[in-house]
Amino acid sequence: MKMRKIACLTPAVAGLMLLTACGQGGGDAGDEASGASGENATAALPNGMTVQEQIEARQKKLENIGGAFKTISDQLKSDSPDVAAIQTAAATVPAEATGMADWFPEGTGPDSGVETEALAIIWQEKEDFLSKISDMQNAAATLNTTAQGGDVAAIGEAFKATGGTCKACHDKFRLDD
């Protein structure tokens, strides 16, 4: 990712060559997806879901977490934050994140044929991945308790701390977009 950007900007700066190569390298957002039609997609997992169902279900949960996170972020930016809205959203995060350790069974990685930003390294470094999940769940629980207390400054701190645990995992285990 970084290399691609550098490779893209260097010619812009130097004004030389590589322009078309750069254009072709642009927009990798969907490169990893080879369509959801592969036979892997419909293979059944031990938990009864198909691979595709599992991946889509976790993405939906993560979307909800992201949405709740944005609600909190928006309110914290405001001059008069709506504490009730923050409290509802803060309660959503740990609720949605329950059982996250089970969302990534073997076979739901980049080879599954389903569009996913989960990287193969998740299954190579399972220990670390699981510990990052519990870091986030703990931080989210603290955020929720803090939010119910209603002190906006403290909520801001807990929010940043939780956000840091999302980022720590994404930086390593999620395809950078």
Partner 1 sequence: MTADKRQLVWDWPVRLVHWSMAILVLLLWWTAEEGIMDWHKRLGLTMLGLLVFRLVWGIAGSWTARFAPMIKGLAKLPAYFAALLKGGHKPSFGHNPMGVLSVFALLTLLGLQVGSGLFAVDVDGLESGPLSTFVSFGTGRDFADYHEFNFDILAVFIGLHILAILSYQFLIKDRLIGPMITGKRPAQDFGETPLPTMAVRPAALFAALLIAIGGVYLVANAG
Interface residues toward partner 1, by CB under 8 A: 2, 5, 8-9, 11-16, 18-19, 22-23, 25-27, 29, 63, 66-67, 69-70, 72-74, 77-78, 160, 163, 166-167, 170, 174, 177
Binding site partner of 126, from partner 1, ligand HEC, none, Cβ cut-off 5-8 A by kind: none
Q: How far is the CB of 119 from partner 1 (least distance, A)?
A: 14
Contact 10/153 with Cβ under 8 angstroms?
Answer: no
Tokens for 150?
A: 């209603």
Report which DSSP code applies to 28: -
Q: How far is CA 104 from CA 66, 70, 125, in A?
A: 18, 24, 12
Q: Which residues contact 132 (CB under 8 A, 6 or more apart)?
A: 165, 168, 169, 172, 173
Indicate the residue among 156 and 170 with the shorter CB distance to ligand HEC. 170
Indicate the residue among 8 and 45 with the shorter CB distance to partner 1. 8
Q: How far is the CB of 46 from partner 1 (least distance, A)?
A: 29
Binding site partner of 90, from partner 1, ligand HEC, none, Cβ cut-off 5-8 A by kind: none
Indicate the residue among 137 and 153 with the shorter CB distance to ligand HEC. 137
Contact 159/142 with Cβ under 8 angstroms?
Answer: no
Indicate the residue among 86 and 173 with the shorter CB distance to ligand HEC. 173
Helices (DSSP H) in the chain: which residue ranges? 2-14, 19-25, 51-77, 83-97, 121-124, 126-149, 152-173
CB atoms < 10 A from the CB of 174, how many?
A: 17
CB atoms < 10 A from the CB of 90, how many?
A: 27
Q: Give the alpha-carbon dihedral of 65, 67, 69, 75, to 10 degrees.
A: -150
Q: How far is the CB of 86 from ligand HEC (least distance, A)?
A: 14
Indicate the residue among 78 and 131 with the shorter CB distance to ligand HEC. 131
Using CB under 6 A, list all residues that contact ligand HEC: 55, 58-59, 62-63, 65-66, 69, 93, 116-118, 129, 132-133, 136, 140, 162, 165-166, 169-170, 173-174
